[in-house]
Structure 1
Amino acid sequence: MKTNLYDKDYCLWLEETVQLLREGRLTELDINNLIEEIEDMGRSEKKAVKSNLKILLCHLLKYKYQPERRSRSWRSTIFEHRDRLDDDFADSPSLKRYFDEVFEPCYQKARKQASIETGLPLTTFPINCPFTSERVLNMDYLPE
């Protein structure tokens, strides 16, 4: 398979790569681009975990520190991002370790985002996360 097919027609490159793999024609594979694609898939999965976690933490903070503004929309967003994380962990249990690794930095970003979205001073939101990772993922937990 020619490497330039990857640059010219990505979908065709994928189809041909799958066919070559199925047929066991490994010497004809575009190995460099295949490796790059597999690495990108892992990065993409991790990026999704971080994104969902930041959104979830931000909404939990807003829910806790702006109780007068609580809405079904906030609860829906909280549920949606928990559900996405739950699906990610079901598909790739090792992503739970990554979730734990990025929990604190994601909280710090969510804290700043919550301050921007609510107009409340950053100091309203504790420096240390007021929620355990277990509570953050608990489908039934809402901070009061």
Structure 2
Amino acid sequence: MAKAALKTPPRDDLYETDFFLWTQAQADLLRARRLDELDLDHLIDQVANVGAIDQREIRNRLTVWISPFSPSSLRSPSKTRCPTASCRRSLI
């Protein structure tokens, strides 16, 4: 991002009005080691949320991946979507 991009609206306003631009400005400030200008309150919240979001995403993907092998899905074929008894017998 260009140096001119560092001249942004006040930190709180930018965070509320253009989140993407706020993230880019924070990254620029970090690269420039201008730590005293960082929006630390919002930055701390965002870093903490990233870990929680990643953990939730992994748990959801594992649930989808493992669910076909769960005991409840391997029980009786009568719980399948076959509408007739002959269809269910063919699954056995």
TM-score, structure 2 as length reference: 0.64
Aligned to 2:11, the other structure's residue is in SS state coil
Map Cα deviations across residues 41-95 of structure 1 (whole Å, 9 max, x no partner).
Answer: 0001110121012112212238x727x8xxxxxxxxxxxxxxxxxxxxxxxxxxx
Pick aligned residue for 1:45 from 51, 54, 57: 54
Pick aligned residue for 2:19 from 10, 25, 30: 10
Provide structure 1 residue ranges, at least 5 long, that are not aligned to the other structure: 69-114, 120-144
Structure 2 residue identity aligned to 1:10: F
- Superposed structure 1 runs of 4+ greater than 4 Å apart: none
Aligned to 2:15, the other structure's residue is in SS state helix
Pick aligned residue for 1:20 from 29, 32, 35: 29
- 1:105 matched to which residue of 2? none
- Counterparts of residues 123-142 of structure 1 (less than 5 Å): none
Pick aligned residue for 1:29 from 38, 41, 44: 38
CA RMSD of aligned residues (A): 2.4
- Counterparts of residues 114-129 of structure 1 (less than 5 Å): 118=80
- 2:68 matched to which residue of 1? 59
Structure 2 residue identity aligned to 1:50: R
Note the C-alpha offset of 1:4: 1.7
Distance 1:28 1:37 in 2: 17
> Percent same amino acid at aligned positions?
26
Which has the larger Rg?
A: 2
Which has the higher relative contact order, 1 or 2, with Cα contacts under 8 A spaced 6 or more apart?
A: 1
